[in-house]
Amino acid sequence: MSRVHDALRKAEQFPITPAGATGPVPAPEAHPSPVPVYPQPELSSHVKLDRPVELTELLSKARRIPFDPAPELHLIDGSKSHEMPGEEFRSLRTRLNHLKSQQRLTSLVITSASPAEGKTFTAVNLALVQAQLSENAVLLADIDLRRPTIHSLFQTDRTPGFSDYILGDAPLDQCIRKVGDTNLYFMPAGTPVRNPLELLNLRHVRTTIESLPKLFNWFIIDSPPLLFSADANLLSTLTDGTVIVVRIGATTFDNITRATQTLCENNVVGIVVNGARATELYSKYTYYYSKHD
């Protein structure tokens, strides 16, 4: 049994519900815990805010990109509904949708303590299964501006995207793509910026993250790791909930504790444990679910 699993069970912070997957376990990476300081600079004079948009107008203008991921990426294929890890992410979807019926929960940050723990894998697959519900229009945004990868998974351009919209260089409908025949829409990271944290402190970021959940049923954000930068800490203050991804055999209980302590908002809705093997954790992903008052 892994060190992460034992430590979490001893702490008794989260009731355990089995869920599953397999995968290689990378070596953990250590990063100093940042001290988050969030000034609020004014918008640059060249920034032009888009007029309010209707969802149907926005979606009709979004460019369609094919959904044809490589098998080794382990992204969920809606035509193969009973394959793993699809069933496990549908269980996660059910839990989050139930929680959403009890409290406000539309915008969600997916993060981890350190790199290489599976946060992007979790964010993309959760967005895909949410989009499988016919009534759900889901937006997945790559706001890991330091090391964005989702555009590569979907084999599309990184630009225009989130940073281009925030800086007024492209309208919203040009920054969003429709993924194949799914009900999933994707906003890539956009043009690289020199200081992502300064960009995220712009007032237009707050208004954007507050307004997009009004257009979409779910707004799922892939962010940098909590112990790697302060970006995820800031994004958590702008969204309804945070899900932390940990990897069996790589994430330590100390890193989980440090990561959650960096969060300025007490809005962690759960922890997804990634990388379980057949002999560990009932051969499944485990979703630790908790509601913090």
Whether residue 9 has pLDDT greater than 70 = no
* 254 Cβ contact partners less than 8 Å away, ≥ 6 residues apart: none
Q: What is the CATH code for 47-71+83-243+257-278?
A: 3.40.50.300
Would the pLDDT of 159 be above 70? yes
- Cβ–Cβ under 8 Å, residues 171 and 150: no
Long-range contact list for 97-104, CB < 8 A, 24+ apart? Answer: 99/241, 99/269, 99/289, 99/291, 103/291, 104/240
Confidence of residue 80 (pLDDT cuts 50, 70, 90): low
**Cβ contact 110:122 at 8 Å:** yes
Instruction: State the pLDDT at residue 83.
Output: 58
**What mean pLDDT, rounded, does the chain reach?**
79
Q: What's the confidence (pLDDT) of residue 72?
A: 74
Q: What is the pLDDT of residue 59?
A: 84
Task: Give the confidence band of 125 by pLDDT, cuts at 50, 70, 90.
Answer: very high
Contact 179, 59 (CB under 8 A): no
Mean pLDDT of 2-25: 40
The residue extents of the domains of the chain are: 47-71+83-243+257-278
Q: Where are the alpha helices (DSSP H) in 141-189?
A: 150-153, 162-166
Write down the pLDDT at residue 249. 82
Give pLDDT, residue 81: 56
Is pTM beyond 0.95? Reply is no
Residue identified by tokens 């790589």 is 250
Position 260 pLDDT exceeds 90: no
Asked if 245 and 217 count as a contact pair (C-beta separation under 8 A), the reply is no
Cα 43 to Cα 96: distance, rounded to the nearest angstrom: 34
pLDDT: which is higher, 46 or 108: 108
Predicted confidence at residue 96, as pLDDT, reads 95
> pLDDT: is 179 or 280 the higher one?
179
In this structure, are residues 274 and 244 in contact, taking their beta carbons and an 8 Å threshold? no
Q: Give the pLDDT band (50/70/90) at residue 135.
A: confident
pLDDT band at 264 (very low <50, low <70, confident <90, very high): confident
Confidence of residue 11 (pLDDT cuts 50, 70, 90): very low
